[in-house]
Amino acid sequence: MKVVHTIADLRAALAPFSSPSFVPTMGNLHEGHLHLMSTARGLGDVRVASIFVNRLQFAPHEDFDTYPRTLEADCAKLEAEGCDVVFAPSEKELYPQKQGFLVQPPESLANILEGHFRPGFFTGVCSVVSKLFNCVFAEAKGERFAVFGKKDYQQQMVLRQMVHQLNMGITIVGGETQRTVDGLALSSRNSYLSDDERKEALHLSLTLRDLARDALSAGGALPGTLAGLEERAMAALTARGWAPDYLTVRRRSDLQLPDANDAIKPASLVVLGAARLGTTRLIDNMEI
């Protein structure tokens, strides 16, 4: 496995290949990321991962400075997973000057849910992912693949639309969320949790599961009863000491609220949630 830190070295390492499959990450890798790498196996002719903590997607009060940087351990895990090339640029390499050109997703997707609570987040994500795509795929003559986890459900949808609307010619592949045996979605931010918080953390997925069950049993009455069901789910989590940002049922197709015209049926909906436990903000989702 080659570890490269410059765009020039990345292009040299990829020159013999025509069809990269790419897993962008911010490092501090866990089994969820390694699952994305294994999803990339068999796609294309070279597997590439990037490790870059992207300042542009963090608000000033967020955890950019404290986000764990664990390059050596990450590379060991990627090598064991059979990754071919790791691109770990410095900030100066990827942002040699202030990034004036930004990729701005449409408000209908970028200002709801995560985007509402983290303004500018998706602009930061789309901008860095576009740059990384340009670094990894610029010389690729064959099919290009990029793998993103479903745990970041909205991010994956935003990036799919970016690739589509900007005619990037990249196939986006979704990787299933990986969970601990007790059901907690794997996340780099789980490492911030104390032992007690770690035990409590799985109640985010349990509450989403209850909300999914209630949404399904509401059937055709869902649009009229949804606000009440969501409030009940938020109250249940609040009573356990969480500070929820949102727990909501959305259409899978566009992440908007289901309305009376939607045929409410399984496989058309997803429940999504974000909530703070102590100082750690966790997100999770479930397709129903």
Binding-site ranges for ligand PAF (CB under 6 A): 24-26, 54, 57, 125, 128-129, 152, 155
**β-strand 145-149 against 85-87: which pairing, if any?**
unpaired
3-class DSSP state for residue 174? strand
Closest contact distance (angstroms) between CB of 239 and ligand PAF is 31
* Token reading at 22: 């790419």
Out of 5, 33, 61, 116, the active site residue is 33
Q: Residue 5 catalytic?
A: no
Taking only Cα atoms into account, the Rg of the chain, rounded to an integer number of angstroms, comes to 19
Q: In what order do the strands lie in the sheet with 243-251?
A: 243-251, 269-277, 280-287
Q: Which is nearer to ligand PAF, 151 or 203 (CB)?
A: 151
Nearer to ligand PAF, 44 or 149 (CB): 149
**DSSP secondary structure string for all residues of 256-281:** PPP-TTS---TTSEEEEEEEEETTEE
Tell me the closest approach of the beta carbon of residue 242 to ligand PAF, in angstroms.
23
Indicate the Cα dihedral angle 193, 195, 201, 203, nearest 10°.
Answer: -160
Query: CA-to-CA distance for 87 and 9, rounded, in angstroms?
Result: 9
For ligand PAF, give the closer residue by CB, 75 or 129.
129
| Distance of closest approach, residue 101 Cβ to ligand PAF, in angstroms | 17
Cα(247)–Cα(232) distance, rounded to whole angstroms? 10
In the complex with ligand PAF, the residue whose CB is nearer, 264 or 283, is 283
Both tokens of residue 118?
Answer: 């983290």
Least distance CB 52 / ligand PAF (angstroms): 7
| Residue with smaller CB distance to ligand PAF, 174 or 223 | 174
Q: Which two tokens stand for residue 33?
A: 């990321």
| Number of neighbouring beta carbons within 10 Å of residue 66 | 8
CB of 54 to ligand PAF, least distance (A): 4
Q: Where would I find the beta strands (DSSP E) of 52-112?
A: 85-87
**Catalytic annotation, residues:** 33
